[in-house]
């Protein structure tokens, strides 16, 4: 009993992390306060990082925790803390589109899951056990910088465009009214995301 | 149901939940977070397919999605702060006069 449990520990942990990620995502829909929604999203991302680690893609797991949880969500939490808590959006959680939205989401999920079910035979995943080293950081880096170097360079162009656009947004806000603390903080954050 | 099917179902579920959140929620910041959840679902499907096919392409795409997500949030939050300064609220129903 214990031996089979230990032999399947990877799979068990994978299913456990997947279930926890799903619970976090559902909590994001239910919780009214934005800070709790942010915490639910952070837990979902950390559990997805665990799933990536169990799949053997360790550097993606590290990027998930570093970039998503460490940069994007910290940024989001700062924005939540900057804005006023006593807001009408905090009292009424849902918009008028609750029923159409849920119906559309359910239809979307059903259509995609049905297509997936038909497209994937039952033995699709078990047949391919990737060779060790396919997912190493070295292979990834070599492929990234030799085969996909153009995409890598375009990424830096995108980041520069994002920084310039953030500065343009700040210029608009400075021109449209008196300088407020919100504007200066947004400028500082927009500039610091470059690294 | 094997591992690939479970993970792909999870990816589809995350994307659908993010879509419902974007439609249903009222708070602009919560809608942005639901968009991040949709990107996470796409990332999970990419990693699962890359794992199934033992290829590196999925990992490269996931890396590019990371960069796009960081750039998106760096633009979106200053825009949200700007709109909140104009309207004094995070409620999306106050922004119905936005055009174009």
* Tokens read off for A181: 């603390």
Of B27, B74, B84, which is closest to A190 when you measure between CB atoms? B74
Tell whether A102 is covered by a domain: no
pLDDT single digits (tens) A7-60: 788 889 999 999 999 999 999 999 988 899 999 999 999 999 999 999 988 889
Residue A130 lies in a domain: no
- Measured in degrees and rounded to the nearest 5, phi and psi for residue A32 equal -80, -35
Range of the domain at A75: 1-92
ipTM of the complex: 0.93
Domains: count for chain A: 2
CATH no. for residue A79?
Answer: 1.20.120.1200
Q: What is the pTM of this model?
A: 0.85
Answer with the one of A92, A125, A140 that is the final residue of a domain: A92
The reply to whether A83 and A11 lie within a common domain is: yes
Last residue of a domain, one of A54, A70, A92: A92
Residue A19 lies in a domain: yes
Cβ-based contacts under 8 A for chains A and B: 257
Sequence-distant (≥ 6) Cβ neighbours of residue A74 within 8 angstroms: none
On chain A, the residues whose CB falls within 8 A of the CB of B62 are: 60, 63
Are both A73 and A156 inside the same structural domain?
Answer: no
Q: Is residue A14 part of a domain?
A: yes
Q: Of A41, A143, A161, which has the smallest distance from its Cβ to B37's Cβ?
A: A41
Q: What is the pLDDT of residues A93-120, one digit of tens each?
A: 788 888 888 999 999 999 988 888 888 7
Q: Annotate chain B with DSSP letters as a single string.
A: --HHHHHHHHHHHHHHHHHHHHHHB-BHHHHHHHHHHHHHHHHHHHHHHHHHHT-SHHHHHHHHHHHHHHHHHHHHHHHHHHHHHHHS--BGGGGTT---
Q: Min CA distance, B100 vs chain A (Å)?
A: 16
Inside any domain, residue A88: yes
With beta carbons under 8 A apart, name residues in chain A contacting B29.
Answer: 34, 76, 79-80, 83
> Which residue among A73, A92, A111 closes a domain?
A92
Q: Which positions in chain B touch A11 (Cβ < 8 Å)?
A: 3
CATH numbers and ranges of domains, chain B: 3-95 (1.10.287.3510)
Q: Could you tell me if residue A131 is inside a domain?
A: no
């Amino acid at each position: 009993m214990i031996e089979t449990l230990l032999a399947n520990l990877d799979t068990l942990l994978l299913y456990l992390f997947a279930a926890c990620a799903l619970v976090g995502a559902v909590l994001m829909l239910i919780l009214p306060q934005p800070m709790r929604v942010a915490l639910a999203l952070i837990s979902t991302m950390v559990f997805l990082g665990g799933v990536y680690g169990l799949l053997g893609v360790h550097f993606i797991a590290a990027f998930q925790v570093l970039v998503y949880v460490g940069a994007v969500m910290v940024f989001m939490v700062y924005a939540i803390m900057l804005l006023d808590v006593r807001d009408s959006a905090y009292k009424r959680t849902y918009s008028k589109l609750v029923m159409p939205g849920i119906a559309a989401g359910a239809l979307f999920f059903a259509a995609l899951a049905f297509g997936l079910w038909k497209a994937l035979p039952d033995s699709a995943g078990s047949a391919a056990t990737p060779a060790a080293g396919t997912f190493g950081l070295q292979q990834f880096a070599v492929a990234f910088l030799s085969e996909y170097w153009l995409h890598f360079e375009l990424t830096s162009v995108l980041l520069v465009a994002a920084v310039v656009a953030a500065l343009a947004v700040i210029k608009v806000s400075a021109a449209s009214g008196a300088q407020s603390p919100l504007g200066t903080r947004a400028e500082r954050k927009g500039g610091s995301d470059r690294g | 149901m094997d591992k690939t099917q479970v993970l792909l179902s999870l990816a589809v579920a995350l994307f659908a939940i993010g879509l419902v959140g974007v439609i249903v929620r009222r708070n602009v910041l919560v809608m942005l977070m639901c968009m991040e959840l949709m990107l996470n679902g796409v990332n999970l499907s990419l990693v699962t397919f890359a794992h199934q096919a033992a290829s590196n392409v999925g990992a490269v795409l996931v890396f590019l999605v990371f960069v796009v997500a960081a750039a998106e949030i760096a633009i979106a939050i200053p825009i949200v702060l700007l709109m909140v300064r104009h309207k004094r609220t995070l409620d999306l129903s106050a922004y119905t006069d936005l055009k174009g």
